[in-house]
Amino acid sequence: MSRFIACSVGGYSTFMLRAALVLLALTAGAMVSAGGPSATVESFYIELPGDGIAITHGGDMVLGVGPPGVVLLNEERVRHGLALLTKLRNAEGEIVGFASELETFPAGADLLHENVIWDTDWTLMIPGRGSLYLRQQEHSGELGPKVVNTTLESGQPWEGDWTVTTTVGPRPDGAGVVVGGAGEFAGAGGSFVEIVNLKRFEKEGIMFGRVELRITIERPQ
């Protein structure tokens, strides 16, 4: 009899525990759907320099411009800018879209030596899915003193394995902002960071490595 009672109590306890877990799961699911947006994380990648289509700036930066004959941004109101057009890859390395990056730098700032923060806008076009518009503030950290200046002073290419998250805002947590989108991304918000993995830098201003745009897309329920 005592064994029967023990088994019955144990079975009842197990049943109650399972019921409680099911109820907790249902409650948690209701809280997720009722409170706040759902979020997904997706990354797009750029292999440098191979995925670059065109790059230009005011003509006084250490980065190269191209292809040959590309127009410089040398007029007064735009000469502190940079424009990049590039292909985009997914996590499997397949080309799935293309993007533009537009940067504006503070007038008179020495990007190789000073603690400079600048504004950057990304527009991503993913055919068959839609488009995303991203805004961030950037800071290159030790790129100037560690990589560029070393290359210019020695005349020899810098080689290594250096990763830096260049995004520093404008969100309080240091991330950039998903401003909006179209198609599959219509109504999207959220955040993102730009992560650069640099392998080589040549004195002609050519960078070798990979850029990752890691995007947390939020959609209202």
Q: What is the pLDDT of residue 38?
A: 80
Weakest-pLDDT range from 26-30, 34-38, 58-62, 204-208: 26-30
Q: What is the residue type of 129?
A: R
Answer for the pair 189, 31: CB distance below 8 angstroms, yes or no: no
- By CB atoms closer than 10 A (0-12, 13-18, 19+), residue 124 is buried
Distance of alpha carbon 199 from its chain centroid, rounded?
18
**Residue percentage of the chain with pLDDT more than 70:** 82
Highest mean pLDDT among 11-15, 96-100, 215-219: 96-100
Q: Select from 1.20.120, 3.40.50, 2.40.360, 2.40.480 the CATH code of 37-219.
A: 2.40.480
pLDDT of 167 > 70? The answer is yes
Residue identified by tokens 């995303």 is: 132
Mean pLDDT, rounded, for 108-126: 88
Strands (E), 9-126: 38-48, 52-57, 81-89, 95-104, 118-126
CB atoms within 10 A of CB 118: 20
Mean pLDDT of the chain, nearest integer: 84
Mean pLDDT, rounded, for 191-196: 97
Q: What is the pLDDT of residue 17?
A: 35
Domain boundaries of the chain, sorted by first residue: 1-35, 37-219
Closest to 99 (Cα-Cα) out of 64, 140, 134? 134
Radius of gyration of the chain (CA): 25
Mean pLDDT, rounded, for 148-172: 92
